[in-house]
Amino acid sequence: MGLPESLAVGDTFTTFSLMQRVESLDEESLCLVLSGTVDGYHHWSWGEGWVQSKLEGVSLLPLSLGVSISLLSLREFVKAETRNRNSNSESGHFD
């Protein structure tokens, strides 16, 4: 799927024909620049028990499809992070 194991500003990756570049990243938010099937920005914010997603873009496809693709990407990233953390805790290694 093209999802990286971790993210840093400037990283690029492609999921579902959508190129994404990390524009900004901190402990409570992420901003991606999108190009391909959707051209624009995808802003993520989160806190204790909540996640907010804001998509600004232009697409020949319905933007709701772009949001669905982004949510699938987020789900895969979270699953990978959970697996990584579980394997690190079992091995006694932490980042």
Give the H/E segment covering residue 21: strand 18-26
Provide Rg for the chain, Cα atoms: 14
The whole-number pLDDT of residue 24 equals 96
The whole-number pLDDT of residue 35 equals 92
- The domain ranges of the chain are 12-88
Q: Sheet containing 39-47: give its strands across.
A: 12-15, 18-26, 29-36, 39-47, 50-58
Q: Summarize pLDDT for 13-50 with one digit per residue, the tens.
A: 887 778 999 999 999 999 999 998 788 999 999 999 89
CA torsion through residues 14, 61, 78, 27, sign? positive
